Structure 1
Amino acid sequence: MKIEFAPLNIPLQRRLQTAATLQWVFSFLALAQCCLAAFVLLAFSDWWALALLYAGWLWLDWDTPSGGGRRSRWVRSWTVWSYFRDYFPLELVKTVDLDPKRNYVFGFHPHGVLVAGAFGNFCTEATGFSRLFPGLTSHLLMLPFWFRVPIFRDYIMCGGLVSSSKSSLSHLLSRPGGGNVAVIAVGGAPEALDARPGALTLQIRHRKGFIKMALKHGALLVPVFSFGENELFEQLENPSGSPLRTLQNRLQGIMGVAMPLFHARGVFQYSFGLMPYRKPIHTVVGRPIPVVQTSSPTSDDIERLHNVYLQSLTEVFQQHKQAYGLSEHQHLTFT
């Protein structure tokens, strides 16, 4: 394989963008393991008392990820996120104003490999979420497993990440006076295994838990489609039923997290590596779907609202697809 190296005369701005994105990839793939290793080493060192103190803090703070988290506007506003935004570049597209007196469930599609659009738009202020939607506070839901990792949990909560448990979602959506936005990558880990350039298949037909929670709390549903999300990485071929996909499904069932074997470009060359391609991401926030609070929604209530949601999501995609590089003949597929 011929390797295409990056030129030496790349402008400083682009180098900074690459560095910012590299640290983001590292945070997703290895920071949790490094934090856990650091904690274990500290516990068996002469500084074990610090590890003991942190363990006590962890015990006291255990439920915080399910109670709204502990966000830091300072961390969300770091300059590094502006360079991360410009690497792709990343854009948050507002279609209508949202009432800050209501609570919302943003259904984010597609999941992609590393949910770059969801992170950049809703865990940082790089694309101006607070400016575009004044009075609203965004929270990206993440698997509870990650909030059990020492130190790492405190870092990710700074960006507004919270547990994806039912109690966590209920806490957000039951806030008196509104103002909370719960962002859910609806397709979850299974959809990440299908994330590759050109993919327009969403795993949503049987995902109705977020619909039920919206009904129980009267939160408005908002479909969000992130154009370009699946263009960032290639994956090894893993069609349904293949040995690789079977292994990935088993690992996901055991660990709860997807294990996509992805690749794209490197830091100093463009031929291979784990850095995402420089492809634009346009994350479109659609119109809110009215929801009548129903304390005990029936299966028919959930199914009816789910169908309305699918229709609204399709409309967002159809209305904006040609503006963001897709042809009029391309359509979403729901499985």
Structure 2
Amino acid sequence: MTKWYGDYFPVKIHKTTDLPPNRNYLIGCHPHGIIGLGANGLFMSDKTGFDEAFPGLRLNLCILSIHFYFPIRREILLASGYIDTSRESIEYALRNSGEKGRVVLLTVGGAEEALEAHPGRHALIMHRRRGFVREAILTGASLVPAYSFGENDAYDQVENPPGSKLRKFQGFIKRYTSLSPTIISGRGYFSRTSGPLPKRTPINVVIGAPIEVKRNENPTKEEIDILHKIYFENLAQLFEANKENFGVPKETKLQFL
């Protein structure tokens, strides 16, 4: 089944440098898209090339805690290697387990960024997102930016500009459920007509170079802000260096919201 998922779009992984297994890593995958297709494809490492590209690493994908509220589903997710986005889960994987070669994958923009997921748009919810940087400092895990080209092209979404009635309603629902009620269309089950399935558009996940992080149990706001800015710059450089290889027009700029 995971092979079919990887081949459907297809999802492909592109590495820019090695990630030695003697360290731990926190990978930020951008953009979130509607449902994080690229992040899930990267997580299916034996079918999309992560294991081959980065041998010796053990990968966990963070998803919202609400996904673990339901019996049986929860057990299946945990057995598959998914963990929730809580501080405790991330720190256990990257520090308290005592293992090296651990990787936590996080879609930093979260459900809020799903509301920005429109074909051809490259906008990231980043300015207020500093928790992942703090976790990297607390655990000493290297920060790694990754960009999923084609993520936002898999679904069409009803226009919902900031300030519109629809966006206000979506924001209200998200505030109380942590989920974004997007109105989307893809392709049908048996034809190319509109339906709930994502469109078969290539998704290319480019994984950047690691940013070395010095472990600190009590990071200051200034330390977090400095590392956050470095991460911004590295992610923007990764996008600029690779965008034309995957069909993004030269004049397109990455937006940080």
Scaled by the length of structure 2, what TM-score is found?
Answer: 0.97
* Structure 2 counterpart of 1:206, from 107, 114, 128: 128
1:162 maps to 83
Which 10-residue stretch deviates more, 300-309 or 124-133?
124-133
* 1:235-246 alignment runs, 5 A limit: 235-246=157-168
1:299 maps to 221
* Structure 1 unaligned residues grouped into runs of 5+: 1-79
1:82 maps to 3
C-alpha contact 2:21 2:100 (8 A) present in aligned 1: yes
Q: Distance in 2 between matches of 1:324 and 1:293?
A: 36
Q: Distance in 2 between matches of 1:307 and 1:124?
A: 29
| TM-fit CA distance, 1:89 | 1.0
C-alpha contact 2:29 2:147 (8 A) present in aligned 1: yes
1:134 maps to 55
Q: Percent identity?
A: 39
| 1:166 aligned partner, one-letter code | R
Q: Distance in 1 between matches of 2:154 and 2:99?
A: 38
For the pair 1:102 / 2:23, whether they are aligned, the reply is yes
Scaled by the length of structure 1, what TM-score is found?
Answer: 0.75
Q: Distance in 2 between matches of 1:216 and 1:157?
A: 24
For the pair 1:172 / 2:88, whether they are aligned, the reply is no
C-alpha contact 2:45 2:51 (8 A) present in aligned 1: no
| TM-fit CA distance, 1:199 | 1.0
* 1:148-159 alignment runs, 5 A limit: 148-159=69-80
Q: Deviations over 1:1-51 (max 9, x none)?
A: xxxxxxxxxxxxxxxxxxxxxxxxxxxxxxxxxxxxxxxxxxxxxxxxxxx
Q: Distance in 2 between matches of 1:124 and 1:249?
A: 33
* 1:303-314 alignment runs, 5 A limit: 303-314=225-236
1:190 maps to 112
CA RMSD of aligned residues (A): 1.1
1:285 maps to 207
2:46 maps to 125
1:75 maps to none
| TM-fit CA distance, 1:177 | 4.2
Runs of 4 or more consecutive aligned structure 1 residues displaced over 2 Å after TM superposition: none
For the pair 1:145 / 2:63, whether they are aligned, the reply is no
C-alpha contact 2:236 2:254 (8 A) present in aligned 1: yes
Q: Deviations over 1:118-139 (max 9, x none)?
A: 1111145211222211111111
- Equivalenced residue count is 256
2:12 maps to 91
* Structure 2 unaligned residues grouped into runs of 5+: none
